[in-house]
Chains A and B, each alone.
Chain A
Amino acid sequence: MELVCIVCPNGCRMTAERSDKGIVVVGNKCKRGEAFAASELTDPARSVTTSVRTTVSGYPVVSVKTDGEIPKSKIFALMDLCGNITVDKPLPIGTVLAEDLFGTGVNLITTTNMEVIDE
């Protein structure tokens, strides 16, 4: 299988094949490429950044991310989950909004420091 590694901006073009010795990867500049290829062949995963609604003045939404990777197949399920969250008070950056997403141990955390703005 032909792949482009998305771990870092280098974007290595790689080929990954299954063999009796496991998965053989060619074209990666670093170890992380191997791990990425293995996961693409078995269970592709992505970190996701998005936003959730708030009722806090000055913040119609607040930015959030998964603090690790979740299965690619769960991205839209995560979007649905985010649609059901409303933040109702100013939260510091890194606050956990949802724990152990889809049993992965990965959490949903805020990425903006919500500071009250005096107009």
Chain B
Amino acid sequence: MKYDVAVIGGGPAGLAAAIKANNEGASVLLIEREARLGGILKQCIHDGFGVVRFGQKLSGPEYADRFIQELRRTNVQVSLLSFVTRTVKRDEGYDITYVSAQGVNTVHCGKIVLATGCRERTRNAIGIHGDRCAGIYTAGAAQNLVNILGAMPGKKVVILGSGDIGLIMARRLTLEGAKVEGVYEAKPTPGGLTRNIHQCLKDFDIPLHLSATVTRVFGSTRLEAVEISDVDERMRPIAGTQRIVECDCLVLAVGLIPENELARDLGVELDPATKGAIVDQNCQTMTEGIYACGNALHVNDLVDYVSESGEIAGAAASHGGKRKLKPITPQGKLLYVVPQRLDVNAPIDNVVMYFRVSCELADQRLTVTAGDETVFTKVYSKLLPPEMERIAVNFDKAHTLDDFTIRLEDK
């Protein structure tokens, strides 16, 4: 079998990429390892999705369903319960090997769109000491258990991490009858939106403990208690502040990392700042014919932008020509910027750029330059690490198409 474009991953990024590539005239195969399309949105049953795109607060499954219904009206071939294990470069295009109920299959395709999402950091990644007992879950695993499988991960719960996923799980577990002892956050400020602090914690009288973390877990077979310690400003535990909190479940909501197993196999160059691939404005990686979008590219907080990057990747993968790549150099207080390269042979009149900062900043000016010309500038009264920013830049006006920078500085 041969396809113009193979999309790996059937979450919002992959759905958008497949629909777009199809509509641009490509023959498309969408490969998803689970039984249903929708990716992580299947289990994100809370609302707040689609505000930018649809002007509505949809739940995750409702947002996904709009794209799934649209996909049904296309010619995209969908292969479910199919796990991609290997991708190999051929003279023209790539061979993709996937495992499904039918056995091991290999298909050939011209281009690959990686839309494999992200994975969660685990207990190992943050180094919590103690017993190897049951009852410790990542927030996504706990969410899957409750919202897909209809089972509870525990009765007395401690949540580590105050990002939106941690806050939403605190409310969810409370609604389903668990006692959430508290949400603990090593940083001095909460990670999630203020709105979620209120509607998820305050509404249910769930305590939030800042500058505190879990330092040890206890339990012979099942978790029985955790040790909490206060931490200093460099997030090191302070001796003498330890206390024991009894619980049978610890939920870790301590961060997401782009899933890049397949990208690594293909030798795709990664950005240490995003932990995803380095791409141009069309989401094409530094490896010709390989595109990356959604959370596989960088961790997004709004699904609306995940779909947007899928569409960019899908459209580009169905065309594509000879590239001329120039770096876009971030300067000043930026944590990261995507894209990291500009293909000056491709359209540059509406380049969508995303960036994040590493700490809360007030009164900042963002400037994008080409040579010594300013092509875009914007003032921000407040920038927060959990909120990704999006801009659209027109580079067409620039006289020199080289020496691109993006800079954030005090106003």
Interface residues in chain A, defined as those with a beta carbon under 8 Å from any beta carbon in chain B:
4-6, 8-11, 13, 46-51, 53, 58, 60-61, 63, 65, 72, 75-76, 79, 93, 111-113, 115, 117, 119
21 CB-based A-B contacts, threshold 8 Å = A4-B198, A5-B195, A6-B198, A8-B195, A9-B48, A11-B194, A46-B199, A47-B57, A49-B59, A50-B175, A51-B146, A60-B150, A60-B151, A93-B65, A111-B59, A111-B61, A111-B62, A112-B61, A112-B65, A117-B35, A119-B35
B184-222 interface with A by 8 A CB criterion: 193-195, 197-199, 203
Beyond A53-B150, A60-B148, A61-B148, is A4–B45 a contact (Cβ under 8 Å)? Answer: no
The 8 closest A-B pairs by CB, nearest first: A61-B150, A11-B194, A60-B150, A63-B45, A11-B195, A112-B61, A111-B59, A4-B198
Are A61 and B147 neighbours in the complex by a CB distance under 8 Å? yes
Q: Are B203 and A13 in contact (CB under 8 A)?
A: no
Interface residues of B in 355-396 (CB under 8 A from A): none
Interface of A is mostly: loop
A63 and B147 in contact (CB under 8 A), knowing A49-B47, A49-B59? Answer: yes
Asked if B33 is an interface residue, CB under 8 A from chain A, the answer is: no
Let me know if B47 and A51 touch, CB within 8 A: no
In the bound complex, CA of A49 to CA of B176 (Å): 11
- Which residues on A sit within 8 Å (CB–CB) of B176? 50, 79
Q: How far is the CB of B305 from chain A (nearest CB, A)?
A: 13
B147's closest neighbor in chain A, by CB? A51
For the complex, what is the distance from the CA of A41 to the CA of B68, rounded to whole Å?
A: 41
Contact of A46 (CB < 8 Å), options: B48, B146, B193, B203? B203
- Most chain B CB inside 10 Å of its own CB: which residue of A93, A112, A115, A119: A112
Q: A5-B195, A75-B175 are in contact. Are A111 and B45 (CB under 8 A)?
A: yes
Partner of B68, one of A10, A51, A113: A113
Contacts of B65 in A (CB 8 A): 93, 112-113
A58 and B35 form a contact (CB under 8 A): yes
B36–A117 CB distance below 8 A: yes
A79 near B194: Cβ-Cβ < 8 Å: no
Would A49 and B45 count as touching, CB distance under 8 A? yes
Q: Other than A9-B48, A11-B193, A63-B45, give 17 A-B pairs with Cβ distance below 8 A.
A: A4-B194, A4-B195, A4-B197, A9-B195, A46-B203, A49-B47, A50-B45, A51-B150, A53-B150, A60-B148, A60-B149, A93-B65, A112-B42, A112-B45, A113-B65, A115-B36, A117-B36
Minimum C-beta distance from A8 to chain B (A): 6
- Pick from A8, A47, A72: contact of B203, CB below 8 A: A72
Q: Measured between alpha carbons, how far is A6 from B45 in the docked complex, in Å?
A: 17
Interface residues in B146-163 (C-beta closer than 8 Å to A)? 146-151
Complex alpha-carbon distance, A8 and B199, angstroms: 11
A65–B36 Cα distance when bound, in Å, is 21
A111 CB, min distance to chain B CBs, angstroms: 4
**CB of B51 within 8 Å of the partner chain:** yes
Q: Is the CB of A9 within 8 A of B68?
A: no
The answer to whether B46 has its CB under 8 Å from any CB of chain A is yes
User: A11–B51 Cα gap in the complex (Å)?
Assistant: 14
